[in-house]
């Protein structure tokens, strides 16, 4: 597509920021909008595998991100009650195979580094989308602050509650999955003397706890759980929780897990939502990526990865396919992404990933830049 096109990206999360950075490097004029008034170190832990870090390499930030992150050698799964090992799968211990690192990091730290790969002049905070109008020549965006802007192409990377998707396909409430997650941060000094693994998932029949370090110095430790729940109030994004509530939910778990609960600060509880599969990923001059079109449970730690892969494939299609027809580029993008995103979504929903020893190379060994766009 013509590099003179002005591309708008709504949503400066990990997928949208990746898209903006790669578009900028491909020579497009790009503007990245986000409703937040300014950058904030939001979120908690995130895992980024070699499939993502190869894209960070294209943004020029792979080394800087890995330098502040933890690089676990193995993924381990352990039985909830007696701590017996169910699997031990090489991550950075098999780095030569994947040709990129596997990192665990604070999401806000990763986000800040990624935003640094986008020209600050191309980022507009405080822009909450109110409406959009698609016409033959482009898209008119109207924001809640009363301003408007015009772009030639619009990318909706605004997450589960995407305004772009709602304007494109109509409003629809997300679907509660019947699962919630607790999150907790721990100062690693509180775990001194304990046999703490670098990247461990604890499993029982109907719930789990994922644990890992967030930084290179191993000073911050994090857990996130998955637990069944009958309901969640619509419109409530999270609520505070307590040590007592967690101890009740994880009664009978290994003493190490219970020690994590005792050591945690500011425990919070979050709902897990999904959506029905979308009939289309694009329409006219508007295209969606990440949770805006295929949200999934976080049980493979690949939700953000799928958004980042989407962004990289979309930019490849826009910059490498010789056409000025947006629909041709967008349909190629959907063709190359739908199968993989659907497979990851299916495995994530099943919550079986790496519980026992298996080869994860179909996920971590994937290289978006090795895909033949004409296949």
Q: Which residues are catalytic?
A: 212
Query: What span, in angstroms and rounded, lies between the C-alpha atoms of 90 and 93?
Result: 5
Whether the CB-CB separation of 327 and 281 falls below 8 Å is answered with no
| DSSP one-letter code for 258 | H
The residues near 362 (Cβ < 8 Å, ≥ 6 apart) are none
> Which of 198, 208, 211 is closest to 348 using CA atoms?
208
| Cβ proximity of 155 and 305 under 8 Å | no
Q: Which of 193, 195, 197, 259 has its CA nearest to residue 70?
A: 197
Q: Which two tokens stand for residue 117?
A: 């790969």
Of 106, 161, 352, nearest to 273 (Cα)?
A: 161
Q: Exposed, middle or buried, 137 (CB in 10 Å: 0-12/13-18/19+)?
A: exposed
Nearest to 372 by CA among 326, 325, 335, 330: 335
Task: Count Cβ neighbours within 10 Å for each residue of 150-182 and write b for 16 or more, e otherwise.
Answer: ebbbbbbbbbebbbbbebbeeeeebebbebbbb
Strands of the sheet with 153-156, listed across from one edge: 123-125, 29-34, 6-10, 153-156, 286-288, 282-283
Q: How far apart are CA 9 and CA 154, in angstroms?
A: 6
Both tokens assigned to 87: 């699997």
Residue 205 contacts by C-beta under 8 Å, 6 or more apart in sequence? none
Angle in degrees, CA 96, 343, 349, rounded to 5:
105
């Amino acid at each position: 597509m013509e590099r003179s096109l002005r591309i708008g990206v709504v949503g400066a999360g990990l997928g949208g920021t990746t898209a903006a950075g790669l578009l900028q490097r491909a020579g497009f004029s790009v503007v990245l909008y986000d409703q937040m008034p300014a950058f904030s170190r939001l979120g908690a832990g995130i895992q980024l595998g070699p499939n993502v870090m190869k894209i960070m390499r294209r943004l020029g930030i792979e080394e800087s991100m890995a330098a502040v992150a933890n690089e676990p050698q193995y993924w381990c799964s352990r039985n909830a009650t007696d701590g017996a090992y169910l699997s031990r799968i090489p991550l950075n211990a098999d780095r030569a195979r994947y040709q990129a690192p596997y990192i665990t990091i604070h999401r806000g730290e990763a986000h800040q580094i990624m935003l640094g790969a986008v020209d600050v002049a191309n980022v507009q905070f405080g822009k909450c989308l109110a409406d959009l109008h698609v016409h033959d020549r482009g898209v008119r965006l109207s924001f809640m602050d009363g301003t408007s802007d015009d772009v030639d192409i619009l990318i909706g990377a605004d997450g589960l509650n995407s305004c772009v998707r709602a304007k494109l396909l109509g409003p629809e409430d997300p679907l509660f999955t019947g699962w919630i997650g607790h999150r907790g941060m721990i100062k690693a000094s509180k775990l001194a003397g304990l046999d703490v693994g670098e990247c461990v998932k604890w499993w029982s029949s109907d719930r789990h706890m994922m644990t890992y370090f967030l930084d290179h110095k191993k000073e911050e430790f994090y857990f996130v759980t998955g637990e069944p729940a009958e309901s969640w109030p619509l419109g409530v994004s999270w609520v505070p929780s307590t040590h007592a509530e967690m101890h009740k939910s994880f009664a009978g778990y290994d003493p190490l897990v219970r020690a994590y609960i005792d050591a945690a600060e500011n425990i919070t509880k979050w709902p897990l939502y999904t959506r029905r599969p979308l009939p289309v990923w694009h329409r006219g001059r508007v295209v969606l990526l990440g949770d805006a079109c295929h949200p999934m449970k976080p049980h493979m730690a690949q939700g953000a990865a799928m958004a980042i892969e989407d962004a990289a494939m979309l930019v490849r299609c826009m910059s490498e396919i010789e056409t000025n027809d947006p629909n041709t580029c967008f349909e190629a993008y959907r063709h190359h992404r739908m199968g993989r995103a659907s497979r990851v979504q299916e495995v994530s929903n099943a919550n079986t990933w790496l519980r026992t020893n298996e080869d994860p190379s179909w996920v971590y060994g994937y290289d978006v830049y090795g895909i033949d766009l004409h296949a």
